[in-house]
């Protein structure tokens, strides 16, 4: 059972994910984040029967524009000048790390509600330069350490682990098939806040039929454009409240279960480091560390959401966790290979997906979900979440 002091996610929303340069391309980070913040707060007030007093807004973001996007988004959402904001950068794990940071603040004793999540506008990210020369990304590691880009690292991981192209293609196809089935069944509808005319993620099915014919990205390699996720624009936000309160400082009014709100309790979490040469494996030790802190094993988990930046990366993580490729618990409605990858938001999208898969679907109290991401530079981020009712 989740401890009564564990912070609880009582609402979770996201935008549709738009491929970079498409429907959401004109929207800055605050334009993406503000609508999901407002929608999540409306849901939270409805769920708890009271007004939500927001202590802080914590958002993950990787590529700018800087200027503390979380604070800008909080103001754009209409929360008022008194609500601060903090922006977290753990690269592809930023959105999940932001949720962990917000949960940690509540657990530490500031029992006021928080909004947390992530946002990325790859389409409007500024061009960075050094001495007048533009560069694609900042270093993930200092001089003297391996510092591959994530695509190169995924190719290296495929070779290191001996993951053939056929297995990667099958994984990507499965992600698209699951996402398409979820879309048809309406399983994304309650979590998505329509934006710029979009009501669904635009990458679903886009590469599925082309997978066998796509050329390798590197000579002699196995990665293709179809087994690498599409870079996306999007945002996701959740509302966290204290796990045991009866009209306290964070939220007033009705709760359930003798003062406990209904949602996902943040039971345990972990951030770990790993070899910068193989950053794609980082989610595996993070998941094991988080589960260990919760006194659980992978067999106790009903639902996993692990950011699918690359098929090879996802498969390498599953292998290290002892989970088979087609396990129905893992990204059951498709992952980032099908939905898209808005870097700083993707970890939070995983939490929104777990909220839909477990809370909105009516999973019983005590059901366990895990969200995780591997991170450039050799990091892993993971959280163990438990349904409370």
What is the CATH architecture assignment of 8-126+230-388?
3-Layer(aba) Sandwich (3.40)
Q: Measured between alpha carbons, how far is 261 from 48 in angstroms, rounded to an integer?
A: 7
pLDDT by residue (tens digit) across 277-315?
999 999 999 999 999 999 999 999 999 999 999 999 999
Q: Which tokens belong to 269?
A: 């979490």
Give me the residue spans of the domains in the chain.
8-126+230-388
Q: Which tokens belong to 193?
A: 């806040």
Q: Which tokens belong to 12?
A: 């979770």
Q: Taking the model in full, what pTM does it have?
A: 0.95
In contact, 349 and 333? CB cutoff 8 Å: no
- Average pLDDT of the chain to the nearest whole number: 94
Residue 145: closest CA among 313, 371, 311, 376: 376
Distances in Å between the alpha carbon of 67 and those of 30, 61, 63, 73? 11, 11, 12, 11
Residues classed as catalytic: 92, 341
The residue behind tokens 């991981």 is: 157
pLDDT by residue (tens digit) across 167-209?
999 999 999 999 999 999 999 999 999 999 999 999 998 778 8
Q: Measured between alpha carbons, how far is 114 from 103 in angstroms, rounded to an integer?
A: 8
Alpha helix stretches (DSSP H) within the chain: 29-48, 69-76, 94-107, 150-161, 165-185, 283-294, 311-321, 336-339, 346-354
Residue 50: what pLDDT? Answer: 83
pLDDT by residue (tens digit) across 94-115?
999 999 999 999 999 998 999 9
């Amino acid at each position: 059972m989740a401890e009564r002091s564990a912070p609880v996610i009582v609402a979770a929303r996201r935008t549709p994910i738009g491929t970079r340069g498409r429907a959401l391309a004109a929207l800055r980070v605050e334009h993406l984040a503000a609508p999901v913040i407002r929608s999540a707060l409306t849901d939270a007030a409805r769920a708890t029967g009271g007004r939500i007093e927001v202590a802080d807004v914590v958002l993950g973001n990787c590529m700018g524009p800087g200027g503390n996007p979380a604070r800008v988004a909080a103001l754009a959402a209409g929360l008022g000048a008194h609500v601060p904001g903090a922006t977290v950068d753990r690269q592809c794990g930023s959105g999940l790390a932001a949720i962990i940071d917000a949960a940690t603040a509540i657990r530490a004793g500031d029992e006021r509600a928080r909004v947390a999540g992530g946002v990325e506008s790859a389409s409007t990210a500024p061009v960075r330069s050094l001495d007048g020369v533009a560069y694609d990304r900042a270093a993930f590691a200092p001089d003297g350490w391996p510092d591959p880009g994530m695509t190169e690292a995924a190719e290296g991981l495929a070779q290191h682990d001996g993951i053939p192209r056929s297995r990667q293609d099958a994984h990507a196809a499965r992600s698209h098939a699951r996402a398409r089935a979820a879309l048809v069944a309406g399983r994304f509808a309650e979590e998505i806040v329509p934006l710029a005319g979009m009501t669904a993620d635009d990458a679903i099915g886009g590469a599925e039929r082309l997978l066998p014919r796509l050329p390798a990205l590197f000579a002699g390699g196995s990665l293709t454009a179809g087994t690498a996720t599409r870079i996306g624009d999007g945002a996701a936000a959740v509302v966290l409240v204290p796990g045991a309160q009866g009209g306290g400082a964070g939220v007033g009014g009705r709760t359930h279960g003798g003062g406990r709100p209904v949602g996902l309790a943040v039971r345990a979490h972990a951030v770990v480091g790993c070899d910068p040469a193989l950053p794609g494996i980082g989610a595996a030790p993070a998941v094991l560390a988080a589960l260990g802190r919760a006194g659980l094993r992978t067999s106790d988990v009903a639902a996993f959401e692990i950011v699918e930046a690359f098929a090879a990366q996802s498969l390498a993580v599953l292998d290290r966790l002892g989970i088979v490729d087609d396990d129905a618990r893992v990204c059951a409605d498709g992952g980032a290979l099908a939905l898209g990858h808005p870097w700083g938001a993707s970890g939070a999208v995983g939490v929104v997906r777990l909220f839909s898969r477990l809370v909105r679907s009516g999973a019983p109290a005590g059901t366990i979900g895990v969200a995780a991401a591997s991170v450039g530079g050799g990091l892993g981020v993971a959280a163990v979440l438990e349904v409370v009712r």
